[in-house]
Amino acid sequence: MAEGLLGRIGGRGHVPTKDFAVAMSDQEWQRKLSPAQYRVLREHGTERAASSPLDKEYGDGVYHCAGCGQPLFASSAKFNSGTGWPSFWAPLDQAVETQTDRSFFMTRTEVHCSRCGGHLGHVFDDGPQPTGLRYCMNGAALDFRRQEKPPEPGGAEPAAAG
Ligand SMILES: [Zn+2]
């Protein structure tokens, strides 16, 4: 049977009840984040195009989640998409997860931090090589740490014993 079709119809409706490693109440997030960060990360808002200084940032460093601090993108994967939002062709290993977003009468792929579930932006398939992907991110969701070296691929910390 057409599994792809079923998958599309069913939508696999990822209910956002998943437990993330970093979980806080709305009130706690509101205290921790700026209003702009909160609107993007916790309410799936989108900042105005070209409003983030990180859109024009091309220095070396690592982009972290503004919610929980997890490293998400290396500056080496950043490119100028001309959209007005910081754009990357690949995230760091296991840093982000995606789900289908059917809001605004469009079907898009939503991108969130794998550690706290904070909304980052969307991913589109019109990016540059080698991946052909364009991770269109909200600068408000990112915390750029200049000169920091990205973690080694696959060199993630071993699962905490006990
Ligand atoms: Zn996070």
pLDDT tens per residue, the chain (162 residues)? 444 444 344 344 444 557 899 999 999 999 999 999 999 999 999 999 999 999 999 999 999 999 999 999 999 999 999 999 999 999 999 999 999 999 888 999 999 999 999 999 999 999 999 999 999 999 999 999 999 999 877 655 555 544
Ligand 1 centroid to residue 66 C-alpha, Å: 7
Instruction: Provide the pLDDT for residue 2.
Output: 41
Q: What is the pLDDT of residue 17?
A: 57
Strand ranges in 5-118 using DSSP code E only, listed in sequence order: 61-65, 71-74, 78-79, 87-88, 96-101, 108-113
pLDDT at 41: 98
- The active-site residue out of 65, 113, 116, 136 is 136
Q: Which long-range contacts (CB under 8 A, 24 or more apart) does 24-28 make?
A: 24/116
User: What pLDDT does 123 receive?
Assistant: 98
Q: How far is the CA of 63 from the centre of ligand 1 (A)?
A: 11
Look up the pTM and report it: 0.83
Angstrom CA distances, 80 to 17, 88, 103, 125, stand at 35, 8, 26, 15
Residue 154 CA to ligand 1 centre (angstroms): 19
SS3 of residue 103 by DSSP: helix
